[in-house]
């Protein structure tokens, strides 16, 4: 009985190279997937850190955080629209009697208007006044705000008709409990009105 010749497995350089290439591709794919997941985790953590506490409290899943981020963005857009409407209303009040009860030359000399309203992270202040008036001194306004524990993080001055409109966004740096918006408005009014100094 003849013995069948044994089959020999011969590893050629080509086969070995294919195995190495396939293994390398798997390693590269695995590494890319790991990096992608890490980047997504970092982005989700960054998104979560930008949301206020009341939006993420009790919510652990990423999908919940995404949903709350959409809600927060919608809320901010509504606030921006509301503030834009307030700003436009103030711009249209060029001769309002609510801002200054004085009449005649004193009214023309001091056409100021002060509006104080709460916003997301503090207070928004709108102050209107003339170009050449010495009555409106922003340094005096800043002093009042610092005394009240408010830090100004944005101040924009806009030319409106024959005067200026100053919009200030302030963050509360002291204890927010019992903050008196009416009292702040009166102090700012006293600071910007020449007759009150």
Q: Would you state the structure tokens that stand for residue 30, as one six-digit string?
A: 């695995």
- The sign of the torsion formed by the CA atoms of 187, 193, 195, 197 equals positive
Q: In angstroms, rounded to a whole number, what is the distance separating the alpha carbons of residues 165 and 12?
A: 82
Instruction: Compute φ and ψ for 103, nearest 5 degrees.
Output: -125, 175
Yes or no: say if 102 and 195 are a contact pair by the CB < 8 Å rule.
yes
Tell me the pLDDT band of 105, cut-offs 50, 70 and 90.
very low
Tell me the pLDDT band of 146, cut-offs 50, 70 and 90.
confident
Tell me the pLDDT band of 12, cut-offs 50, 70 and 90.
low
Q: In angstroms, rounded to a whole number, what is the distance separating the alpha carbons of residues 7 and 57?
A: 69
Q: In angstroms, rounded to a whole number, what is the distance separating the alpha carbons of residues 74 and 54?
A: 15
- The sign of the torsion formed by the CA atoms of 183, 186, 191, 192 equals positive
Q: Please choose, from the candidates 57, 192, 62, 82, the residue with its C-alpha nearest in 3D space to the C-alpha of residue 136.
A: 192
* 106 Cβ neighbours under 8 A, 6+ residues apart: 195
Per-residue confidence (pLDDT) for residue 39, from 0 to 100? 92
Yes or no: say if 167 and 87 are a contact pair by the CB < 8 Å rule.
yes
Q: What is the pLDDT of residues 108-136, one digit of tens each?
A: 445 678 888 887 777 888 888 765 554 45
Yes or no: say if 177 and 125 are a contact pair by the CB < 8 Å rule.
no
């Amino acid at each position: 009985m003849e013995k069948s010749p044994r089959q020999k497995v011969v590893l050629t350089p080509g086969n070995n190279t294919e195995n190495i290439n396939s293994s390398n591709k798997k390693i590269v794919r695995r590494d890319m997937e790991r990096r992608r997941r890490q980047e997504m985790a970092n982005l989700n953590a960054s998104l979560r850190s930008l949301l206020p506490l009341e939006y993420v409290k009790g919510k652990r899943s990423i999908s919940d955080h995404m949903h709350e981020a959409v809600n927060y963005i919608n809320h901010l857009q509504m606030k921006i629209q509301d503030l834009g409407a307030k700003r436009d209303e103030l711009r249209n009040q060029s001769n309002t009697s609510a801002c200054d009860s004085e009449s005649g030359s004193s009214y023309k000399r001091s056409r100021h208007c002060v509006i104080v309203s709460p916003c997301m992270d503090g207070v928004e202040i709108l102050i209107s006044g003339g170009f050449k008036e010495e009555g409106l001194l922003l340094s005096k306004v800043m002093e009042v705000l610092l005394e009240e524990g408010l830090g100004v993080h944005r101040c924009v001055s806009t030319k409106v008709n024959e005067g200026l409109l100053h919009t200030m966004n302030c963050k509360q740096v002291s204890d927010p409990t019992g903050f008196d918006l009416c009292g702040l408005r009166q102090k700012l009014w006293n600071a910007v009105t020449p007759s009150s100094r």
